Amino acid sequence: MKKETVGYITRTGGFSRLVSDVENTREPVQIVRHNQTVAMIVPANDELAQLLSDIIDNGKLIQSSTTNRIDFVRVLVGYALLGDVSKRLLSQTGYDEVDKAVSNVLENFGRG
């Protein structure tokens, strides 16, 4: 993964140049300020953007509903179990399209 400093981005065409580079090369860029990562720009499409938005919203919901680390861990374990149970139930119904859809999303991760 490529790393660029905020200063370098500013001196070499700014944000527009950076977005064009990511769009053309399909390579993520880690943005650094004072030796600390402050952001990342990754190639994406509308499906990926929606998926990431849903994940972020879900994380905010979990964060707002848990008051301590133990609650947070319990929620995550619950999600893991629910995901496993859902996958098993779907496989019992012969619903293989889910696996195909998930594989398709992963194969096309970040492509336009």
Domain ranges in the chain? 2-41, 46-107
Q: What is the CATH number of domain 2-41?
A: 3.40.1620
Residue with tokens 């950076």: 18
Supply the DSSP string of 61-111, one letter for each residue.
HHHHH--SHHHHHHHHHHHHHHHHHHHHHHHHTT-THHHHHHHHHHHTTT-
Residue with tokens 């861990």: 73
At 89-112, the pLDDT tens digits run 666 666 666 566 666 666 666 555
Please state the φ and ψ torsions of residue 2, each to the nearest 5 degrees: -80, 145
At 54-77, the pLDDT tens digits run 888 877 877 777 677 777 777 777
Give the span between the Cα atoms of 3 and 37, in whole angstroms. Answer: 9
Where residue 4 falls among pLDDT bands split at 50, 70, 90? Answer: very high
Where residue 53 falls among pLDDT bands split at 50, 70, 90? Answer: confident
Instruction: Give whole-number Cα distances, 13 to 29, 49, 50, in Å.
Output: 15, 25, 29
pTM > 0.85: yes or no: no
For position 16, what pLDDT does the model report? Answer: 95
Length of the chain measured in residues: 112
Q: What angle do CA 99, 101, 105 make, to 5 degrees?
A: 115
Q: What angle do CA 40, 55, 112 make, to 5 degrees?
A: 55
